[in-house]
């Protein structure tokens, strides 16, 4: 059972510019993260885009959906920025019934060393292997249904809507 991982950017993949303090994208860190985490699950990593989710457009989300629908694998993990992850989940949820899709992100960039990204990615890979078909959001050891999740900015965590 191969798991396809689609990288889209977000805090997961941000780099820090030491000269001016800005954050930018270069390439995905997912392959390195899987290696460091000693992942032995069969995975294939594909980069779809490297953008901040606040800049993600409806066309970008359509690209994610199209890639999920055309993917030959039943198990998919999508790395995504946390600010609009729930928006993408709400597009994918009603459209994907025959696959298990797990969206995952990080609150702190992986390159900062104190990131939650490595843990979140490992959890997402595990959830993708074990959950029934459907669309989910995985953050900080928890998993949420696509239609029952929000980023609670007051406490800095994902929570259920109801």
Which two three-digit tokens encode residue 98? 């025959």
pLDDT of residue 92: 98
State pLDDT tens for residues 97-145. Answer: 999 999 999 988 777 777 889 999 999 999 999 999 999 999 999 999 9
Check whether 155 has a pLDDT greater than 70.
yes
Taking residues 39-49, report their average pLDDT. Answer: 97
41, 26 in Cβ contact below 8 A? no
Model pTM score? 0.94
Q: Where are the alpha helices (DSSP H) in 28-83?
A: 30-36, 58-70
């Amino acid at each position: 059972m191969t798991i396809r991982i689609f990288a889209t950017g977000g805090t997961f993949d941000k780099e820090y510019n030491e000269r001016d303090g800005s954050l930018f994208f270069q390439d995905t860190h997912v392959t390195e993260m899987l290696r460091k985490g000693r992942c032995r699950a069969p995975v294939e990593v594909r980069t779809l885009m490297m953008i901040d989710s606040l800049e993600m457009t409806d066309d970008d989300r359509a690209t994610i959906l199209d890639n999920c629908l055309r993917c030959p694998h039943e198990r998919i993990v999508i790395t995504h920025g946390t600010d609009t992850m729930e928006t993408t989940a709400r597009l994918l949820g009603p459209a994907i019934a025959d696959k298990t899709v797990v969206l995952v992100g990080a609150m702190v960039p992986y390159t900062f060393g104190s990131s939650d990204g490595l843990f979140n990615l490992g959890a997402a890979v595990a959830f993708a292997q074990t959950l029934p078909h459907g669309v989910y959001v995985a953050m900080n050891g928890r998993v949420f249904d696509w239609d029952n999740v929000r980023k609670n900015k007051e406490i800095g965590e994902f929570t259920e809507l109801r």
